[in-house]
Amino acid sequence: MIHSSHDENLSTTQNLVILIADDHALVRGGLALVVAMASPDCKVLEANSYDQVVDILSNEPDIDLMMLDLMMPGMEAHRSLSSIRQRWPDVPIIVVSVRDDIDSIRTAMATGVSGYIPKSLPPNVTLSAIKLILEGGIYVPPHVLNFDNNVATSIPDTQKISFTELTRRQQDVLKLMQSGLSNQNIGDELGLTLPTVKMHVSALFKKLGVKNRTEAVAFYAKHPDDDVYT
């Protein structure tokens, strides 16, 4: 099904349908392998041009996630991306691109996509990013956040959510953050890699509408544990 809210944890949904759109068969095959590790029971559809993407989205009502290259035949980069977002706003999109400059990422995120994965990322980080997005998070490459802490301002604002709308993992991370643990210590406590913890922290900041750990902890302090773990 196409979900009306990407805050829902897609990773708990069986038989996801994921569209991988790239004009290079080798890239599609590699992404399909990573996607299968993130969601073993998923069904993968493939497209190698903008026209094929439009055709599949028009005729396949069950797309749960799309991984989209901006430089396929027929694509006009961000203009085509914006058009897809307008016509199918309920389909979460991950941009997968050779471009990893700040402006390209900021412009793509401003359309409301769920993540931006440069093709230079190693497979393990790509896997973590996909898992994060399937859990309802948003992935922005760490080098962008490190370069420009205001990059989140390019992402459309969403209504602030309650703690009960956070995924269980995000709640765990936030509680440990409130206890003063570093990202590395949070990873050790939860059995997560440091890049995965950073991805969850970034998603938390976006979901809570905060800019740093201090604001996130302050937001947490306003809610008793019973409101978080119900």
Q: Comparing 105 with 177, which gets the higher pLDDT? A: 105
Q: Residue 124 above 80 pLDDT? A: yes
pLDDT band of residue 158 (cuts 50, 70, 90) is very low
Q: For residue 145, name the pLDDT band (cuts at 50, 70, 90).
A: low
DSSP state of 45: E
Q: What is the predicted pLDDT for the residue at 27?
A: 95
**Cβ(187)–Cβ(193) below 8 Å:** yes
Q: Which residue has the tokens 């396949």?
A: 60
Residue 160, exposed/middle/buried by CB under 10 A (0-12, 13-18, 19+)? exposed
pLDDT digits (tens, 9 = 90+) for 56-106: 999 997 888 999 999 999 999 889 999 998 898 878 899 999 998 888 888
- Written as one letter, the residue type at 111 is T
DSSP letter string, 4-38? S-TTS-GGGSSS-EEEEE-S-HHHHHHHHHHHHHH
Domains of the chain as residue ranges with CATH: 10-147 (3.40.50.2300), 160-228 (1.10.10.10)
pLDDT in tens, 98-111: 998 888 888 888 88
In terms of phi and psi (left: phi > 0; alpha: psi -120 to 50; beta: otherwise), the region of 136 is: left
Contact (CB, 8 A) for 97 and 118? yes
DSSP letter string over 60-127?
A: -TT--EEEE-TTSTT--HHHHHHHHHHH-TTS-EEEEES---HHHHHHHHTTT-SEEEETTS-HHHHH
Q: How confident is the model at residue 153 (pLDDT cuts 50, 70, 90)?
A: very low
Task: Summarize pLDDT for 24-51 with one digit per residue, the tens.
Answer: 999 999 999 999 998 888 999 999 999 9
User: How does the average pLDDT of the chain come out, rounded?
Assistant: 79
| Tokens read off for 138 | 């948003």
Rounded distance between C-alpha atoms, residue 215 and residue 185, angstroms: 20
Sheet holding 17-21, edge to edge: 43-47, 17-21, 65-68, 93-97, 115-118
Q: Look at phi and psi of residue 191 and say left if phi exceeds 0, alpha if psi is from -120 to 50, else beta.
A: left
> Tell me, what's the pLDDT at 146?
58
Round to whole Å and give the CA distance between 139 and 118.
11
Q: Which amino acid is at 155?
A: I
User: Is residue 147 very low, low, confident or very high in pLDDT (cuts 50, 70, 90)?
Assistant: low
Pairing of strands 65-68, 93-97: parallel
| Residue 140 per-residue DSSP state | -
Q: Helix, strand, or coil here: 128? A: helix
Structure confidence at residue 8 (pLDDT) = 42
